[in-house]
Structure 1
Amino acid sequence: MHNQAFRPARLLVGGLTAVAVLLAGCASGNSDATAASTSPRQAGFVGEQPDDAEPAAGGSLTFGSYSLPTVLDPARTQAAASTGGTEMAAIYDTLLRHDFDSRTFVPQLAETFEGSDDLTTYTVTLRPGTRFSDGSVLDADAVKWSIERFVTAKGDASQTWTNVVDTVDTPDELTVVFRLKRPWSDFPALLSLGPGMIVGAGSDTGGTFTPVGAGPFTVTKFAPREELLLSARADYVGGKPLLNTLRFVPTAGAQAQYESMRSGQFDMTFILRDERVIDQALADGYTGFLSPTGQNGIGVINSRPGRPGADVRVRQAIAYGVDPEAINQRANAGLGTASSELVPEGSRWYSGAEGLRFDPERARELLDEAKADGFDGRISYLTTQDPGQQATALTVQAMLQSIGFDVAVDYATDTTDLVRKVYRDHDFDLTRGGAPIGEEAPFLNLYGSMGSDSRNNATGFADPEMDRLLLAVQTAPTDDAKRDAIGDVQRYANETVPYVLWGPAAVLTAWEPTVHGVKRTVTDIMLFDDAWKSGP
Structure 2
Amino acid sequence: MKTRISVRTRMAAALCATALAATACASSDDGDKDSSGARTSPQDLYKDGLVNPEKDPGEPVDGGTLRMAEYSEAVVLDPTKTYPTGSTGLNVMASIYDTLMRYNPETKGYDPQLAESLASDDNITWTLTLRDGVKFTDGTALDADAVVASIQRFITNRGLHGQILGANLKSMVATDKSTVTFTFNGAWARFPSLLAAGPGLILAPAAYADPASFKPIGAGPFVLESQAPGEKTVVKANEDYFGGRPHLDKIEFLQLGPDQTKLESLEAGEVDAVYVSSEKVVKDLVAKGYAGNMSAVSGVPTINFNHREGTATADVRVRQAVELAFDANTFLERTTGSDVLADRGLMGATSIWKTGVEPVETDPAAAKKLVEEAKADGFDGKLHYVGLSDATSKSGAVAIKAMLDAVGFDVQLDLVSAVGDVVKKVYVDGDFDLARGSNSIPDSDPYAALDTAMDSTSGANPGRYASPEMDGLLAELRAADGPEEGGATLAKIEELWKKDAVYLNVGFGGFLEAWNDNVHGITPTTQTAVLFDDAWLSK
When the two structures are superposed, what TM-score results if normalisation uses the length of structure 1? 0.86
Taking structure 1 as reference, are residues 261 and 213 closer, same or farther at Cα in structure 2, changes over 3 Å only? same
Correspondent of 2:479 among 475, 479, 487: 475
Task: Report the CA distance shift for 1:278/1:332 in structure 2 as closer, same or farther (over 3 A).
Answer: farther
Structure 2 match to 1:129: 133
User: In structure 1, what is the Cα distance between the partners aligned to 2:374 and 2:231?
Assistant: 45
Q: 1:224 to 1:370 in 2, by over 3 A?
A: farther
Deviations 1:436-467 (A, max 9, x none): 33333221111111111123323332232321
CA deviations 1:475-520 (Å, max 9, x no partner) are 3588555212111111111122221011221221222222111111
Q: What's the counterpart of residue 97 of structure 2? A: 92
Which amino acid in structure 1 is aligned with residue 179 of structure 2? T
CA distance in 2, matches of 1:500, 1:227: 36
Rounded Cα–Cα distance in structure 2 between residues aligned with 1:280 and 1:233: 35
Does 2:123 match 1:119? Answer: yes
Partners of 1:75 and 1:92 in 2: CA distance: 13
Structure 2 matches for 1:249-268, cutoff 5 A? 249-268=254-273
1:199 is the counterpart of 2:203: yes
**Unpaired segments ≥5 residues, structure 1:** 1-19
| Letter paired with 1:23 | A
Matched residue, 1:9: none
Whether 2:226 is the aligned partner of 1:228: answer no
2:365 equivalent in structure 1: 361
Shift of 1:185: 1.3
Change (3 A) 1:477 1:185: closer
In the superposition, relative to structure 1, how do residues 52 and 282 fare at CA in structure 2: closer, same or farther (>3 Å)?
closer
Q: Which residue of 2 aligns with 1:499?
A: 503
The alignment partner of 2:260 has SS state of: helix
Shift of 1:52: 3.8
Q: TM-score, normalised by structure 2?
A: 0.85
Rounded Cα–Cα distance in structure 1 between residues aligned with 2:28 and 2:276: 21
Answer yes or no: is the 8 Å Cα contact 2:227–2:233 preserved in 1.
yes
Counterpart in the other structure of 1:294: 298
Q: Contact 2:57–2:520 at 8 Å: present in 1 too?
A: no
2:4 maps to what in 1?
Answer: none
Q: Helix, strand or coil for the counterpart of 2:208?
A: helix
Match of 2:12 in 1: none
Instruction: Say whether 1:70 aligns with 2:66.
Output: no
Structure 2 equivalent of residue 379 of structure 1 = 384
**Distance 1:359-1:264 versus aligned 2 partners, 3 A rule:** same
Q: 1:223 to 1:305 in 2, by over 3 A?
A: farther
Alignment map for 1:93-242 (pairs within 5 Å) = 93-116=98-121, 118-206=122-210, 207-242=212-247
- Identity, in percent, stands at 34
Q: Are the aligned partners of 1:371 and 1:377 in contact in 2 as well (CA < 8 Å)?
A: no
SS of 2:506's partner is strand
Q: Give 1:329 shift.
A: 3.6
Q: Do the aligned residues in 2 keep the contact of 1:97 with 1:107 (CA within 8 Å)? A: yes
**1:131-183 deviations in whole A, cap 9, x for unaligned?**
11222211111001111111111221122212332222222211222222222
Structure 1 match to 2:11: none
User: In 2, distance between residues paired with 1:64 and 1:303?
Assistant: 39
Shift of 1:528: 0.7
> What is the identity, as a one-letter code, of the residue corresponding to 2:43?
P
Shift of residue 186 of structure 1?
A: 0.8
Partner of 1:40 in structure 2?
Answer: 43
CA distance in 2, matches of 1:367, 1:433: 24
What is the alpha-carbon distance in structure 1 between the residues aligned to residue 27 and residue 216 of structure 2? 42
| Alpha-carbon distance change, 477 to 211 in structure 1, aligned in 2, over 3 angstroms | closer
1:331 CA displacement: 4.3
Name the SS of the counterpart of 1:162 in structure 2: helix
Is 1:80 matched up with 2:76? no
Deviation at 1:107, TM superposition (A): 0.9
Query: Which stretch shifts more, 79-88 or 287-296?
Result: 287-296
Residue type of the alignment partner of 1:76: K
SS of the residue 2:266 aligns to = helix
Distance 1:59 1:454 in 2: 44
Q: Cα–Cα, structure 1 residues 359 and 472, in superposed 2: closer, same or farther, change >3 Å? A: same
In structure 2, distance between residues paired with 1:258 and 1:468? 45
Q: Would the aligned equivalents of 1:379 and 1:408 in 2 still touch at CA under 8 Å?
A: yes
Q: What is the deviation of 1:103?
A: 2.9
**Residue 524 (1) aligns with residue 534 (2):** no
Q: Does residue 249 of structure 2 align to residue 244 of structure 1? A: yes
2-side partners of 1:59 and 1:183: how far apart? 45
Tell me by how many angstroms 1:237 deviates.
1.4
Moved more, 103-112 or 300-309: 300-309
What letter corresponds to residue 149 of structure 1 in structure 2? R
Cα distance in structure 2, aligned partners of 1:221 and 1:360: 55
- Residue of structure 2 aligned with 1:515, choices 499, 510, 519: 519
Q: Distance in 2 between matches of 1:103 and 1:28?
A: 23
2:492 matches 1:488: yes
Q: Distance in 2 between matches of 1:240 and 1:425?
A: 49
Number of residue pairs aligned between Structure 1 and Structure 2: 512
Equivalent residues in 2 for 1:302-341, closer than 5 Å: 302-304=306-308, 308-334=312-338, 336-341=340-345
For residues 255 and 59 of structure 1, the distance between their equivalents in structure 2, rounded to whole angstroms, comes to 26
Partner of 2:20: 24
| Contact 2:42 2:341 (C-alpha < 8 Å) held by counterparts | no
Task: Please say which of residues 483-492 and 404-413 is displaced more in the overlay.
Answer: 404-413
Task: Provide the C-alpha distance between the structure 1 equivalents of 2:321 and 2:256, rounded to a whole number of angstroms.
Answer: 35
CA contact (8 A) 1:24 1:383 kept: no
Question: What code does the residue aligned with 1:40 have?
Answer: Q
**Which residue of structure 2 aligns with residue 435 of structure 1?**
439
